[in-house]
Amino acid sequence: MRATPAIVPAAGPAKTYDRDLVHTDSTLGEVFAKIGALQAQRTSLDPADFCRKFWAILRVLYVLRPSDADRLAWEPCHLPNEGGFMKQFTEFVLPSIQALQLSEDACARAIAPVLAIHGRQDRSSPYGAGREWALRLPNARLVTVDHAAHVPWIENPDKVFGAIGTFLDGAWPSDAERIRSL
């Protein structure tokens, strides 16, 4: 088996999932409130300072435990495109993701092996979306990382990197599940 890892959006951006396939807690609302307050200060902040503060707030969403947020070494504020990212994201990236509608036939034609790795407590992309990709793609498997969110390699690096290594070596990880239903 020859495989290439990829990052893909949710199978259907407007799709809703049952409660057991979505992680909701107070963190999402708290983060958005902090970002709103930061937006109000935007004109008084240096763009790089604004970017650093924005990412310091946002990265809490990507991990299950807020104490793990500082383990994310993300601060892309030195990159020239980060200053205008929100404009590009809201005008181009988000509408493109929202317009994505892959038919069952289109998914069925994807014959390459696909390994989806998804944190069960992901606030940014529902766990149900990871299950749905693994269900819809004919040669896909899902590794579920319990007690992890959007960046599960922070919370369980051995499981995530072990699964990726096994997959890139041409085999399915032992805990890679073939999904039969959501």
Same domain, 66 and 114: no
Asked whether residue 3 is domain-assigned, the answer is no
pTM of the model: 0.82
Give the pair of three-digit tokens for residue 142. 């899902």
Of the ranges 60-64, 101-105, 109-113, 132-136, which one carries the lowest mean pLDDT score?
101-105
pLDDT in tens, 11-34: 665 678 889 899 989 998 999 899
Q: Which of 51, 84, 99 is the last residue of a domain?
A: 99
As a whole number, the mean pLDDT across the chain is: 86
Q: What is the pLDDT of residue 46?
A: 83
Number of domains in the chain: 2
Rounded Cα distance between 163 and 75, Å, is 27
Asked whether residue 123 is domain-assigned, the answer is yes
Of the ranges 51-55, 81-85, 120-124, 160-164, which one carries the lowest mean pLDDT score?
81-85
How far is residue 160 from each of residues 99, 114, 163, 166, 172, measured CA to CA in Å?
30, 15, 5, 10, 13
Q: Which of 45, 64, 99 is the last residue of a domain?
A: 99
**48 is in which domain, residue-wise?**
26-99
Q: What is the pLDDT of residue 160?
A: 97
What is the sign, positive or negative, of the torsion defined by CA atoms of 130, 125, 150, 121? Answer: negative
Side-chain half-sphere exposure of 154, counting CA atoms within 13 A: 22
